[in-house]
Amino acid sequence: MAKITAASSTGFLTRFNATLRRFRGDREGVGAVEFALIAPVLIVLYIGSLEVSVAMSVNKKLARASSSVADLVTQKDSVNKAYLANMVDVAESVMAPFKSSGLKLKITAISIDASKKATVVWSWKDDGTKAYATGSQTTVPSQLNIASTFLVRTELNLNYDLFLFSSDDEGSQMRHLNMGKTYHLRPRVASTVSCSDCG
């Protein structure tokens, strides 16, 4: 059995210390290590900011689509269900190039009497049915609640899927945002806007 002498153990420690010093002083690969630590955080921040900015753009498009529909309806003195059904196509074209599947549209004509009571004159939903009962009371913004006036309200809703990274155990996931925009406009060419077959 070989004996371990003091000289051999000292030589081993000397070589080991020299190796440690070389390893500690070696700076090759530091950039790769730093990149490996920072890159995931930067990628998450980049994708997250991109998704949020796209969601904000979709929200702006939704507001523009709702306003455009209200503008087109208030330029008529009379409409029908066929005309209102075309407003879905208008909203989808304004939303382009963003995905607009699942877009929900409601159009309501509102009469405000002398006592500032707002009631539904007619309403239409994108499935061809009534959005609200005729004659039912409804609410309008206080600054628009003017006695003996008429309003057309458009309500546009869209479920938007937002891809997010989470710090919890779920990791990345889709968040469903329910975006909605409502516009009230007054008739342009007449005092009211009627609907011949809305019931």
DSSP codes of every residue in 88-157? HHHHHHHHTTS--TT-EEEEEEEEE-TT--EEEEEEEETTSS-SS-TT-B----GGG--TTEEEEEEEEE
Please write the tens of the pLDDT for every residue from 112-127.
Answer: 999 999 999 999 999 9
pLDDT for the residue 39: 84
Please write the tens of the pLDDT for every residue from 47-77.
Answer: 778 888 888 999 999 999 999 999 999 999 9
CA nearest neighbour of 77 among 187, 174, 162, 175: 187
Q: pLDDT above 90 covers what percent of the chain?
A: 54
Please write the tens of the pLDDT for every residue from 12-52.
Answer: 777 777 777 776 666 666 777 788 888 888 887 887 788 88
Whether 139 has a pLDDT exceeding 90, the answer reads yes
CA nearest neighbour of 87 among 110, 111, 108, 56: 108
More confident call, 16 vs 103:
103
Whether 166 has a pLDDT exceeding 60, the answer reads no
pLDDT for the residue 81: 94
Could you tell me the sign of the dihedral formed by the alpha carbons of 70, 76, 79, 83, in that order? negative
Alpha-carbon distance of 16 to 13, in angstroms, equals 5
Element (H, E) at 83: helix 81-95
Q: Please, what is the average pLDDT of the chain?
A: 85
Alpha-carbon distance of 26 to 5, in angstroms, equals 32
Cis omega before residue 97 (within 30°)? yes
Sheet holding 118-125, edge to edge: 118-125, 104-112, 149-165, 172-185
Segments making up each domain of the chain, as ranges = 29-194
